[in-house]
Amino acid sequence: MAPEYGATMGFFPVDAETLAYLHFTARPHEQIALVEAYCKEQALFRTDSTPDPLFSDTLELDLGTVEPTVAGRSVRKTACHSQSKSVFHESHGRSAGQTRAGEEQRRFVRSFKRRRRNRSHHELHEHFEPFANARRRLACEKAVERGLQVKPWVKTSLAPGSKVVTDYLAASGLNIYLDKLKFNLVGYGCTTCIGNSGPLPDAIGAAIKENNLVAVAVLSGNRNFEGRIHPLVRANYLASPPLVVAYALAGRMDLDLTTEPLGNGSDGKPVYLRDIWPTPQEVEATVRASVTSEQYRKEYSAVYEGDAMWRSMPVPKGDLYQWDAKSTYIKLPPYFENMSQTAAPLADLHGARVLAVLGDSITTDHISPAGSIAADSPAGKYLIAHGVKPHDFNSYGARRGNHEVMMRGTFANIR
């Protein structure tokens, strides 16, 4: 899952730091011993004395030359911070002096004045490990102390990957500052990346449709397909957690965070990204003081038990799944009916036809989306015909066990 740097996957060898992480996150000692023994036996374990592998080609990178980067507005596009403003303008096909973004901003303002409501949209999400989380939360604390607030047209949300995050948030006291900036908890795991962080306010959705606006999402997840975060949000950027906060405070994407202020503080003076960016020492101290092995042990020791509602659900008996013909989530697929136990011999294909001719950067998410289901789409009409109300549609990802829904979802991505 690394399209932004042009790779199908990235491999990092197991080392002593890996084992230390497993210990810290309360994995069973037997499992850690097995990981170490297996990786060493398979020559996958690396130490300072391990010879370099033999590669067909190698590259050297001076980390001091690396600049902060945002990935977007869609898959396989990236820009350094200092270039993000110009890249945003270029993606709209206009010069920096008269951009489509500027025209859209003015149209949105008019819509805002008519409705006396919000005038633009970013949808924000946080998703990563303790050091990144601590850096974001410290940035929130500094922003609140300087008097900055998230712009009123910005939608914010918090969806950590693990319940442990909420534990060490509370232990550090930084959850208070996240809440003050409206980064409120909406769920865990794939909530935002799968398109489940909630609807837009009606006025914002209407303004986007009426003015054909290119609305923007900034998230620290791993998916920025067009239309996936929300069907009305076409431009999506991946950024580190503290940068997500920064763009929420700025309320716009077309600015250079290295030279332009995020806004004015309570004293009326401009506040820059450098003013709220925490130091490595602050991040380290926060993590060491608030993240413990006991938090992981507490959350994951009962991870498969579920709540009272889950435990009270009836469980069918027997070895085979009992298909429910009325279910709109899981249906018995017809693909294996009358299938022979013996595979047919290979034969030539005759009369084959091209099903689709696709351009560059077309992904499986365009062909089979995982986001929300529109009421006027073929899948939505199917669900309505089977008694499902639009507010109970859930997502394509949640209904992937129903081939009737998934077939009707083919090419349903708005882009």
Written as one string, the DSSP assignment of 241-264 is HHHHHHHHHHT-SSS-TTTS-SEE
- pLDDT at position 5 is 65
**Res 279 pLDDT > 60:** yes
Backbone dihedral angles phi then psi of residue 294, each to the nearest 5 degrees: -60, -30
Pair 151, 238 in one domain: yes
List the structure tokens of 154: 């910005």
Shared domain check, 143 and 94: yes
Residue with tokens 């507005």, as numbered in its chain: 73
Question: For residue 55, what pLDDT is reported?
Answer: 87
pLDDT confidence tier of residue 7, bands split at 50, 70 and 90? confident
Residue 53 falls within a domain, yes or no? no
Within-domain flag for 351: no
pLDDT attached to residue 236:
84
Burial pattern 264-291, b for ≥16 Cβ within 10 A else e, equals: ebeeeeebebebbbbeeeebeebbeebb
* Residues sharing a CB contact under 8 Å with residue 400, sequence separation 6 or more, in sequence order: 370, 406
Grade residue 397 by pLDDT with cuts at 50, 70 and 90.
confident
Residue 409 in domain:
yes
In a shared domain, residues 293 and 321: no
Whether residues 247 and 283 fall in one domain? yes
Residue 224 lies in a domain: yes
Rounded Cα distance between 67 and 82, Å, is 8
341 found inside a domain: no
In 3D space, the residue among 30, 245, 298, 34 whose CA is nearest the CA of residue 134 turns out to be 245
Cα–Cα distance, 233 to 67 (Å, whole number): 27
15 lies in some domain: yes
Joined together, the tokens standing for residue 95 give 């010069």
Q: Which amino acid is at 410?
A: T
Residues 6 or more apart whose CB falls under 8 angstroms from that of 373 comprise 379, 380, 383, 393, 394, 395, 396, 399, 405, 409, 412
114-123, 178-187, 218-227, 307-316: segment of lowest average pLDDT: 114-123
Cα separation, 203 vs 76, whole angstroms = 32
Position 120 scores a pLDDT of 38
Percent helix, percent strand, percent coil in the chain, to nearest 5 = 40, 10, 55
Q: Please give the single-letter amino acid code of residue 73.
A: R
Q: What percent of the chain has pLDDT over 70?
A: 84
397 against 8, higher pLDDT:
397
312 pLDDT more than 90:
yes
Higher pLDDT pick, 169 / 370:
169
CA distance 226 to 253: 16
Q: How many helices (H) and strands (E) does the chain have?
A: 16, 7
Of 203-207, 253-257, 392-396, highest mean pLDDT: 392-396
| Contact present, 143 and 276 (Cβ < 8 Å) | yes
Q: Which of 201, 127, 119, 202 is nearest to 157 (CA)?
A: 127
Q: Is residue 218 domain-shared with residue 83, that is, in the same domain?
A: yes
Which pTM was predicted?
A: 0.77
> Is the same domain home to 90 and 175?
yes
Please give the average per-residue pLDDT across 177-195, as a whole number.
86
- What gap in Å lies between CA 369 and CA 123, rounded to an integer? 19
DSSP state for residue 71 in the 8-state scheme: E
88 and 22 in one domain?
no
Same domain, 230 and 332: no
pLDDT at position 266 = 92
- Please state the rounded mean pLDDT for residues 309-326: 90
Q: 280 with 323, same domain?
A: no
Whether the per-residue pLDDT at 297 is higher than 60: the answer is yes
What's the rounded mean pLDDT across residues 193-209? 81
* Statement: residue 353 has pLDDT above 50: yes
Average pLDDT, the chain: 82
* Count of domains observed in the chain: 3
Reported confidence tier of residue 81, pLDDT bands at 50, 70, 90: low
Give residues with Cβ within 8 angstroms of 131, minimum separation 6: 283, 284, 287
**pLDDT tens-place string over residues 137-146:** 788 888 999 9
**Range of the structural domain that residue 93 is part of:** 69-298
pLDDT digits (tens, 9 = 90+) for 264-276: 999 999 999 999 9
- Which residue stretches of 25-99 are H helix? 29-41, 84-91
Residue 240 belongs to a domain with what CATH number? Answer: 3.30.499.10
pLDDT at 3 over 90: no
Q: How many residues does the chain have?
A: 415
Q: Are residues 9 and 134 in the same domain?
A: no
Q: Are 229 and 123 in contact (CB under 8 A)?
A: yes
User: Which pLDDT score, from 0 to 100, does residue 124 have?
Assistant: 35
Mean pLDDT of 305-316: 89
pLDDT, position 352: 95
What confidence tens digit (pLDDT) does each residue in 10-64 have?
Answer: 778 899 999 999 998 899 999 999 999 999 999 999 999 998 888 899 889 898 8
Phi, psi of 78 (to 5 degrees): -135, 160
Q: In whole angstroms, what is the distance from residue 363 CA to residue 300 CA?
A: 34
My answer on whether 101 and 230 are in the same domain is yes
Residue 250 in domain:
yes
355 within a domain of the structure (yes/no):
no
How confident is the model at residue 128, as a pLDDT? Answer: 35
Is the model's pLDDT at 170 over the cut of 80? yes
Per-residue model confidence (pLDDT) at position 91: 67
pLDDT score recorded for residue 250: 92
Please indicate, yes or no, whether residues 180 and 274 belong to a single structural domain of this protein: yes
